[in-house]
Every structure is written in structure tokens, then in C-alpha cells.
Structure 1
Amino acid sequence: MNITFSLDEINEVAQQILDQNPNKVILFHGEMGAGKTTLIKALAKKLGVNDVTSSPTFSLVNEYQNTENQTIYHFDFYRLKTEIEALDMGADEYLYSGNWCFIEWAEKIPSLIPDSHSIITISIAEDNKRFLELS
């Protein structure tokens, strides 16, 4: 799936992504400011999360419950120096839990990523729009 959108269309884009039935582990690639966290917030909302969502930059992972009592994890591995830090926090257990796992900066933990995963790449396009590729 490839789509160009503006940030005010983010909720519709989140639904389109979910309609594609991606793997529950999704890696988000894109430069800082591309909209990775904003899209993850929209996905969590579409999955039924009513809590306030935010970037887990300092905590590394935020855990949310949706209206069906399912768990959704949002990771931000930007600050990791080694994969060992991710193992120490139990990242492998989260990633193989069967729950939704949205991962920013997954390139910091390449050997921990499950084989079954989807990738969303976001880049900034003309007129402050975003280009998204789901694979």
C-alpha cells in the first residue's frame, strides 16, 4: 500500500492501514518529524485505546489497553546504545506476545525483530504532506 496524505487525514490513513491486515508487529521507519508517533497514536485510537498516548522516548515502551482489554505496545528505541539494553527490558517477550507492537527505531534491535512483521515507511513529501509505504 502506498499513499500520500496530509496530517489532518491521519485517522483515515490509520484505518486504511488496519484494513490491510498488517502483521501485529509493525516497524516504523522515517526521519525525525516525519509523523511516526502521530500515526501510532492514530492507530492506537482506531484499535480502541481511549487513554492519552505519547512517545515512549524515555521509558522505551508504553503499554495501552483498548476497549476490548487487548494490550498494545509502543516502543521507541532511539536512545538505545545496544540490543542488550532491549533484551534487559524484556523486549523479546513483548515482541513475541501476540499483541500489537508498534516499533520506532527498530534498526537498533535488528536481531530481535520477529520474522512476521510489517514495515511502514513515512517520508515528508511536497506541501507538507506525507508519503507512506506499507510492506
Structure 2
Amino acid sequence: MKIIYKQSEINATAKNIIKNAEHKVLCLHGPMGVGKTTLVKALLMVLGASDSGNSPTFGIVNEYHHNNGKLLAYHFDCYRLEDEMEAYDLGFEEYLAKNVWVFIEWPEKITGLLPLEHTDIFLELEPDFSRSLQLKNP
């Protein structure tokens, strides 16, 4: 499924992703500055997170709760990881076992740790500064 959207349409796009993703593990691919974190923030809002979300670049992972207090999602930014062992040492597999939404930026850094059941989201910047998004359920 391919979607082209502008910033003003990001919440509708996030709803569309939630509706069409076959898995709760979403791997976001794309170059720096394409809007991966912005999309995660929209996904969190649509899901009812009590926090708007920030990039976990320096902490690697952020945890989010629903407005009702229940654990909702984890957001990983793997950009700074040197190898998969760093993610493994963080307990990456334990995060996956919680059956909550997991958003992973730069998943190509940890391909050996990704579950088979995940949905890939490929983001690109269009010439008019809109974004195109390709959602693939393996």
C-alpha cells in the first residue's frame, strides 16, 4: 500500500497505518529528516498515548502509556547502535515480548533481531515536500 501525504494529513495517515498494519512491530525506513519520528508521534497520538513522544536517539528506547495508564508502546531509535549486540544487551527481545506497539527507526541496524512478524514502512521525501509511504506486511 502506498500513501502520499502532507504534514496536515499525518493523523489520517497514522490511522490508516494502524488500520492496515498486520503486526504491532512497525519498522520505519528512510533517510535522516524524512519524518520517521514525526510519524511515530502521530501514531502515538492516534493510539491515545498520554505523552506526545520524542526521539529516543540518546536513550535508544522510550516507553509510552495510554491515557488510562496502561503500557501502549515502545519507540526505538537504533541510529547510534554500533551493532546488534547493543540492542540485545538493552533487552530488545524482552520489549518485543510485551505484546504492545513497537516502533523502530533505523531497523536495518538490527535486522538479525527483528521478529518475522513485523510491518515495514518505507518513507521518502517527494519533490513538493510531501512524503510518500510504502507499507509492506511481509
Fold shared, TM-score > 0.5 on shorter chain: yes
Q: 1: distance between equivalents of 2:103 and 2:113?
A: 14
Matched residue type, 1:120: I
Q: Which runs of 4+ in 1 moved over 3 A?
A: none
One-letter identity of the residue aligned with 2:86: E
Number of residue pairs matched by the alignment: 135
Q: Which amino acid aligns with 2:80?
A: R
Residue aligning to 1:112? 113
Offset, 1:21: 3.9
Q: In 2, Cα distance between the equivalents of 1:97 and 1:115?
A: 16
What is the letter of the counterpart of residue 118 of structure 2?
A: H
AA at the equivalent of 1:40 = V
The runs of 5 or more residues in structure 2 that have no matched partner are: none
Query: Superposition pairs for residues 1-135 of structure 1, below 5 Å?
Result: 1-68=1-68, 69-135=70-136
State how far apart, in whole Å, the 2-side matches of 1:56 and 1:82 are: 17
Does structure 2 retain, via aligned residues, the 8 Å contact 1:124–1:131?
yes
Instruction: Report the Cα distance in structure 2 between the residues aligned to 1:64 and 1:54, rounded to whole angstroms.
Output: 10
Q: What TM-score, normalized by structure 1, do the two folds share? A: 0.96
Q: What letter is aligned with 1:128? A: F
Name the % identity. 47
Give the SS at the match of 2:98: coil
Q: TM-score, normalised by structure 2?
A: 0.94
Question: What is the one-letter code of the residue matched to 2:10?
Answer: I
1:105 deviation in Å?
0.6
Runs of 5+ consecutive residues of structure 1 not aligned to the other structure? none
Cα RMSD between the aligned structures? 1.0
